[in-house]
């Protein structure tokens, strides 16, 4: 049987990994959309991005409230994703 502290660490690690995976899915979704479907100026692109980012931020807030991750870790996940999305957006703008 696992001690409580080990369980908590396992839950924290898993929560962080799941949130990071969700952020990676958003990045891949936007990459596909930029490359194949629509340009960043398209309202559909903006709607998908806003919806996905809002959903991820709610997941992160929930994990923080459960004390599965810290507020800093949540901000780090969102900040990294935003930086990667900005790079994608700039690259798409440069190919227009």
Whether the predicted pLDDT of 39 surpasses 70: no
- H-type alpha helices, the chain: 4-32, 43-65, 71-94
pLDDT digits (tens, 9 = 90+) for 45-95: 788 889 999 999 999 999 999 999 999 999 999 999 999 999 988 887 777
Tell me the domain boundaries of the chain: 4-94
Determine the pLDDT at residue 65.
97
Decide if 74 contacts 19 (C-beta within 8 A): yes
Residue 41 has a pLDDT of 64
DSSP 8-state symbol, 37? I
CATH assignment, 4-94: 1.10.287.750
Under the banding of pLDDT at 50, 70 and 90, the label for residue 9 is confident
Residue 63 near residue 19 (C-beta atoms within 8 A): yes
The tens digit of pLDDT for each residue in 11-31 reads: 999 999 999 999 999 999 988
- Measure the CA–CA gap between 47 and 65, rounded to whole angstroms: 27
Please enumerate in sequence order all residues whose Cβ is within 8 A of that of 32, keeping only pairs 6 or more positions apart, or say none.
none
């Amino acid at each position: 049987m696992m001690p409580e502290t080990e369980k908590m660490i396992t839950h924290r690690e898993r929560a962080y990994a799941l949130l990071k995976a969700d952020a990676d899915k958003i990045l891949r979704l936007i990459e596909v959309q930029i490359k194949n479907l629509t340009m960043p100026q398209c309202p559909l692109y903006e709607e998908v991005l806003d919806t996905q980012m809002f959903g991820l931020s709610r997941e992160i807030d929930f994990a923080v409230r459960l004390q599965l991750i810290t507020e800093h870790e949540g901000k780090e996940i969102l900040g990294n994703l935003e930086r990667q999305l900005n790079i994608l957006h700039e690259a798409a703008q440069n190919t227009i």
